[in-house]
Amino acid sequence: MHAYTLRRRKDKDGWVQKVDGDYVYFRNYRLAPEDTKSPDRFQGTNELLIVGETSPDSPFYPLPDHVPALGDMAGDEAAQLYQLQFFRNNAVPRIAVVVENGRLDEDTKAYLLSYMREGIRGDAHKTLILQGTQGTDTRIRIERLTVGTREEADFMAYRKFVVGQVIMAHRVSPSKVTIVENANLANSKDQDKTFKEQVIKPDQERWERRIQWLLEDEFGPDLPIRFRFREMDLADEEQIARTRSFYMGALTNNEVRSFLGMGDAGRDPDTGAVTDPDLAAWGEQPFEAPPPPPGGAQEGLGNLEPMSKRISPVHRAFVAEVAKLGYLVEEIRELAGPDPEHEAY
């Protein structure tokens, strides 16, 4: 729902939305109607959870990130309106034809206007001939009007300044908003990396914790789901995976499992107690990376390692997961007891 339609109740027990003259009440998240100051108003209403950054200026409403740049945003909007008005109404001509001690006749005026509109297009340094009345001290000169040149330059500099302030308030790299001045491929990648690591990643982690808390509060702390946002750039994840695979030989199987979000093998994830001694012992062993292929052409298959040692780390983790599922199936069968209908299975 739109934030501008919401108002916080002064009792801080809910919110009121006003749309087209109609009022709709919302309770605070996890607050029962009887726990509010006006139980009758909140009967049958929905709950509303507001997630935002707290503000020292108001105990009722959070503030968005663009508040520090509100002045610059208003200044940029005023500059746009001023520039539009200048071109519509207050545009200053580039040159002026000044006639002293006389007047131009209608034929000369028509010729001059035609020359200014069409005659000077495409032909540089073309000559213009103007004739005055014979025997008079008439002077005709053309002057260039430069009024407002410096003001226009300062005007454009101001617009660039306020755009930079708005970008700074949102912590966005210039390359992300197509500002390519003094930019090349190298510093654009550095800007993207800094933007991801210092802005996007902390915000993602903060919102992941909030949404995870909301899910666990709604469905219980034993919810077997971990909420995560998709990474901003998959190429970075591939680089991390290649770097980890290089150091796999110095890690144990449990350390490799932690990279995949898995607990220690053969141990209870909550208490740490050993549930399977064989798997627990395997988890403490060094991780076996795939051996390098033998040099030259192979003459036979007698020197090949067993398949369990030649598979990739990802396949090895998959095999471990399948093995763990097998143990779970056996434990379920033991707890459930014999099943006459499915003895064949």
Mean pLDDT of 65-84: 83
pLDDT at 135 > cutoff 90? no
pLDDT digits (tens, 9 = 90+) for 234-284: 465 666 777 767 766 677 888 888 877 788 888 888 888 888 888 888 888
Q: pLDDT > 90: what percent of the chain?
A: 5
Residue in the block written with tokens 């550095």: 190
CA–CA distance, 26 with 17 (Å, rounded to integer): 8
Pairing of strands 14-19, 95-100: unpaired
Q: Report how far residue 105's alpha carbon sits from residue 98's, in angstroms, rounded to the nearest whole number.
A: 14
> What's the mean per-residue pLDDT of the chain?
75
In angstroms, the Cα distances linking 142 to 100, 105, 121, 129, 305 are: 11, 17, 18, 12, 93
Per-residue model confidence (pLDDT) at position 196: 82
Which residues sit opposite 286 in a β-bridge? 252
- % of the chain surpassing 70 pLDDT: 66
Judged against a pLDDT cut of 90, whether residue 87 lies above it is answered with no
User: What pLDDT sits at residue 296?
Assistant: 44
How far is Cα 69 from Cα 123, in angstroms, rounded to an integer? 48
Residues 178-203: what's their mean pLDDT?
Answer: 77
Residue 72 CB burial class (10 angstroms; 0-12, 13-18, ≥19)? buried
d(CA 68, CA 223): 39
Q: Evaluate whether 59 touches 10 at the Cβ level (below 8 Å).
A: no
Q: Which of 24-28, 73-77, 133-137 holds the top average pLDDT?
A: 24-28
**Confidence (pLDDT) at 339:** 56
pLDDT level of residue 152 (50, 70, 90 thresholds): low
Average pLDDT (207-214) is: 89
Q: Which residue has the higher pLDDT, 20 or 170?
A: 20
* pLDDT score of 26 more than 90: yes
| Mean pLDDT score, 106-128 | 71
- What CA dihedral angle connects 280, 270, 336 and 343, to 10 degrees? -40
pLDDT for the residue 319: 64
Give the distance from CA 315 to its chain's centroid: 34
Please state the pTM of the whole predicted model.
Answer: 0.46
Q: Which of 48-52, 105-109, 205-209 has the highest mean pLDDT?
A: 205-209
Rounded to an integer, what distance in angstroms lies between the CA atom of residue 213 and that of residue 203?
15
Which residues share a beta bridge with 24?
17
